[in-house]
Structure formats: C-alpha cells, structure tokens
A and B are shown apart, each in its own frame.
Chain A
Amino acid sequence: MRSRDRRTEVESVEHARRPGKPNKGFALIAAIALLGTLLSGCGTPESSADDSGGTAPKGDVTLVIGAYSVVKDSVQDIIPLFQKKWKEETGQTVTFQESYEASGTQARAIVGGFEADVALLSLEGDIDKLTKAKLVDKDWKDKPDGGMITRSVVAIGTREGNPLGIKNFADLAKPGVKVLYPNPKTSGGAQWDINAIYGAGLKESERETGQKDPAFAKAFLESVHANIESLDKSGRASMAAFEYGVGDALVTYENELLTRNKQGGKYEVIVPDDTILIENPAAVVDANVDKHGTREVAEAFVDFLWSQQAQKVFAENGFRPVNDAVYKEFASDYPVPPGLFDIKYLGGWKEVRESLYSKRGVWYQVLAGI
C-alpha cells in the first residue's frame, strides 16, 4: 500500500543519515544530562536536612516532620507557637520541613529512607513499623498517655437534619441506607472505622448473651457492609465522595467531620453509644535525630505537643485533647458516649491485626463475601 511505502521510505532516509554527527552529539549530551539529573535527583531533599541538622547546636536547626494528613491544620498552628517558645528559651531559630501523607504511606516512607525527625501517625501500628525498622526506640510509649497526643471517636456523618434518623451502627444496616467508609486495606486509619463497627457488634452480643461473640460481631459487620456504596482509598476520599452527594451516611473520625463543618459543611455528627476511642501517637524518630544531631529540639517539640497550648489547638481542630484540664474546657463539645470502648476491648492491636486484618482474617472474609 502506498502510505506504507512512504513510511518505510522515511525510515530508510533516517537510516542513511545515522552517521550524521551534530544531531548525535547533541543527543548524547542530552542523554547524559538526563541520566545525571535522574541519579542525583533521588538524594537531594534529604541531604539539605542533613546539612542544617549537622551544624553546631547554637546555629539554626531544621526539624523534619512526617505526619498523617488529617493532623496537618493542627501541626501548622502549633509550629509557630513552638518556634516562639524555642527561640525564647535557647535563641535558636527552628525551621520546619513538613510532609503530610496517609499514615501508612508516611510510615513506609520513613522506613524507606525519608529522614523525618518526628513522626505523627494515626495509629500505633504505624509507629510499630518504625520500631520494627529500628528507627524508633521501643520505649516510645513511656511518654505521658502512652505516647498518644490526641484522641477522637469514630462517628457517623449524615446529611443535614439526619433524614434517615441514624443513631448507631446498627441503623446503617437498614435496607436502602447507602454507606461510605474507606477500605482498611488502602488506608490504615480506616482500621479504626472497622474496629468501631466490629466492636459495636461485640458489645451488642455481650449485652444479649453475656459474653463477646466474634461470630455475631462478624455478622454485624457484614450486615453494615451489605449497604456499602463506596470503599474509598482514604478517609479524605470518603469525605470528598460524601460532599459530592454520594451516600446517606459515612463512617469516619469525629474530628474529620467537625473540621469539615467548621469549613462550612452541614453534616450531622452522630456519635453512636457504642463506639471506639481513637488514639493517635507521636514519636521522635531516634535513628534520624541522632544522625542529624537534632535530638534535643525534636524531644522538646514532641513534649510540646502535650502542653496546654498545643492541646488547645488540637481541641479547636476537632480532636479530643488528652490533657485533662484542656478536655474539661471543651467537655461540652466532646461528650463521652456511654458505651465507649478502646482497642483493648478488642484484645489490643496485636490481636486485632491477626484476627481482623491478617491475610484471610475477618475483614477479608467480609470483603470476599465468604
């Protein structure tokens, strides 16, 4: 065919020109330049942190924060407070490099070589990833409140006025209710949501039969899951989908809903009687602060997170403060539900990871419909 012939002609012309020089030289230089940027590109952001961290303690310091995305607003409010305090105490100026990712992604990034000095993550399991990689010392829980800086509860968000009259997780299983929650497979933080529903099932069985019945709890979770409209990538994605009008109810953290309402959202925040207490940890990444020479300031920053000042910022951003005095101040905003349980009610994180989220665990069975 003619068009084909023409194409081969073009190719052969190019073939003939191949020994031509100027083009080739340019291409070679371009190729080398590209390769160079490619190879050097990987290391740069960390090395800058190295430099500033390594300077004499009297100079300025840089602190690298690796945090989960939901805590971003709070951290950005707390940083100036800490900078002011540190300046007054030591005369040093602290500059911050911040990175916000989903908690699990952040933990993996730090394990993979992102040299954060301080890690704020949404669940203990993600800090455990860092201890397992020998980046955080095993004694990180020796801080006040077991290393936890904020609390929250798993809540249900509904449309304005709660048209379906949803009061607890059992109501989500009613026919025709479209439910949203993120998938714990893609979002570690979503484990809290599933723990809450599963735990509410355990509570229910305990009330009826006097003891916790895992089979009942699994059936309870299945009945809610039957109404799932979308299993989103993350809590943020669930919230976004809900804002675009998808679904009647979403299961997420109380603080996530409160933040959205503060920004003009009009959602009802339903705290079920039976729900789980969320606790979010923070830790100094020991291996990195020793490398950067930033231990002193990193420890001070983490300790500052428990100060009244910082706890107040958390409370204003929708978190339940761990500091009692600050909690009393905000108590009317954050009523304690009567059936509140914590992770220990489910047997602790280790047990939960094995029974619920292991390869063929309860969550897998619910997903696959087994």
Chain B
Amino acid sequence: MQTSWLRHKGWTYGFRTTVLLYFVILIVLPIAGVYVYSFSEGWGPFWENVSDPIAWKAVLLTLGLALIATLINVLLGTMIAWVLVRYRFPGRTVLNSLVDLPFALPTAVGGLMILLLLGPNSWVGGVAERLGFDIVFHQPAIVIAMVFVTFPFVIRAIQPLLEEMDASAEEASYTLGASRAATFFRVILPQILPGIAGGAMLAFSRALAEFGAVVLVAGNIPAKTLTASVFIYGEVESDNNLGAAAVSVLLLTLSLVLLWFINRVQRRGGRE
C-alpha cells in the first residue's frame, strides 16, 4: 500500500507523546508548580497565609456566592435547555447560538455591561436604590457576574441528553396516568440529572475562579465583597507571591476535589 508509512507504529507513539507532553506542559506543570511554590517555605508560612482572616473570609465568601450562582444557573439552565430542545419557535436557532456568547466575550466586557445596565444611573439600578438595596459593588453584582460567565455550562450539558432522550418512556408514563409533574420528576429528571450535576460542577468551579467581571462590579471590601480571585490578584500586585499561591492552592484543591467528584457522578450515571 502506498499509505503504508501512515500505518507506521511511530505515529501512534508520536501522537501519544505529543498529547501527554501537552498535558504535562500546559496543565500538570503549572498546577504542580503552584503547590510546590506555596509549600516552598514549609507549613508555617503556608498556614499563616491561609489563616489570615482576610484570606479565608474571601475564600468562604467566594464559595457561598459561587454556590448561589450555580443554583441559579441550574434552575435557569434547565429551563432554557428544555425550551430550546422541546419547543419550536422562530428565532430558536439564533437563541441557541447566543447561549455560548458569554464564553466568547472577554469577561471584563461582561462586567462593564453589568455596570452600565445595573449601575445607579441605570433604570434597574435606580429602582433598586429606591427600594433600598444596592446591586453594583455589592454581593448581588458578584452573583450576576458569576451567573453570566458560567451561563452556558448547564445548558450545554443538558441539551444532548434531552435530545437523545427516548420519547417512549415519557409516553408510557403519560399512558399509565402519571401527571406532568410526576413524569418530569420521575422519568425525565433522572435522565438529565448527570448532565445537571456535571454542568453545575463545571459552573461552580469556574465561578470560584472568575476574576475579570467580578473585579469590576465588586466593591472588593474584605469579608463583604472581596472574592478569592481578587484577593489573589492583590497579593501578587503587592509582591506577596507566597500568599497568592497559598490561597490558590486552597481554591485548586477545592476544584480538584469537585472535578473528581463530577467524574465519579458521571461514571456512576453511566453504569446505571
């Protein structure tokens, strides 16, 4: 065969080596580097940096707000995915392609839009101010920014499951006299649950790390509106790299545990 050189075993090895190299250079090395660096002066300084009240309060706040953002995205995302898959209406394909836009937009631009649309000079901001609560530079704005940047995850995780879903199970449920709610919760939801869980985990870990949009719309006041990513940025800017690495390790470990957990959930879903 003319193409026999293409069958050469070397390709397989070459390809695998390249992929592994990639993985090591782009992912393993930087992450391992952060871990090694943060412990480079031993446990003492690491602990000192992590136990700084400004640091751990920032991490705690970020966890809380990311959780809220994820819950919102799970609810909204499931509904949007449902509408996009199950309903036919003019503009559906356009909407469907708009879903990914938050990924394409620089997050700082997203933050700027939130400032413009929800700031005190805007219509919404004005109403909120009269009602006595602030959006921009307070916690609501951080949640909105997180929801914005993680918007596509849940939708895109559920959509294929909904599309693949076998209509006969649903039909059988109705034929057997189940209500719409019962059908949704007992037939449909279990099938899309792995997608919801996977999407939610991704959204959550992405929200933990969000910086560009959050730094613009948050007041960055310790214990109130200072998120972990902004805190880390501040430590780097003020030449406390060790402190930055220590808090990064905290966030990274959380994300690693989460991702491992997603994998488990999804694999278990696959076995069922």
B-contacting residues of A (Cβ < 8 Å)?
A: 1-4, 6-8, 19, 21-22, 24-25, 27-28, 31-32, 35, 102, 104-105, 183-188, 228-233, 237, 240-241, 244-246, 357, 359, 364, 367-369
Contacts and interface: CB of A to CB of B under 8 A. Distances in A.
Contacts of A367: 54, 222
Interface centre among B22, B137, B215, by most A CB within 10 Å?
B137
Given A185-B238, A230-B221, A368-B222, A27 B15 contact: yes
A187 B18 contact: no
Interface string B30-63: 0000000000000000000000111000000000
Given A3-B166, A35-B18, A246-B137, 14 more contacts: A2-B166, A2-B169, A3-B164, A6-B164, A21-B3, A21-B6, A24-B11, A28-B15, A31-B15, A186-B238, A244-B115, A244-B120, A244-B121, A246-B120
Given A35-B22, A367-B54, A105 B237 contact: yes
A32 B220 contact: no
A188 B18 CA distance: 42
B7 interface: yes
A230 B137 contact: yes
Interface in B138-194: 161, 164-166, 169, 191
Nearest to A184: B238
Given A31-B19, A105-B237, A183 B220 contact: yes
B6 A25 contact: yes
8 contacts: A3-B161, A21-B7, A35-B18, A185-B237, A232-B220, A233-B230, A244-B120, A369-B222
A184 B234 CA distance: 9
Given A187-B237, A188-B237, A368-B53, A244 B220 contact: no
Contacts of A231: 219-221, 226
A32 B15 CA distance: 10
Contacts of B164: 3, 6-7
Contacts of A105: 237
Contacts of B14: 28
A181 B271 CA distance: 55
B12 interface: yes
A142 to B, nearest CB: 27
Contacts of B7: 19, 21
Contact of B191 (A3, A233, A245): A3
A244 B119 contact: yes
Contact of B11 (A21, A229, A364): A21
Given A231-B219, A233-B215, A246 B136 contact: yes
B19 A186 contact: no
A9 B180 CA distance: 31
Contacts of B235: 185
Contacts of B230: 186, 233
A181 to B, nearest CB: 11
Nearest to B116: A244
B91 interface: no
Interface in B229-254: 230, 233-235, 237-238, 240
A133 to B, nearest CB: 12
Contacts of A232: 220
Contacts of A8: 270
Contacts of B19: 31
Contact of A245 (B120, B165, B272): B120
A359 B115 CA distance: 32
Contacts of B54: 364, 367-368
A7 B270 contact: yes
Nearest to A27: B15
A102 B237 CA distance: 10
A241 B22 CA distance: 41
Given A22-B6, A25-B6, A229 B219 contact: yes
Given A4-B269, A4-B270, A4-B272, A28 B18 contact: yes
A229 B169 CA distance: 55
B216 interface: yes
Given A3-B191, A4-B272, A31-B22, A246 B238 contact: no
A370 B23 CA distance: 45
Nearest to B136: A246
B125 interface: yes
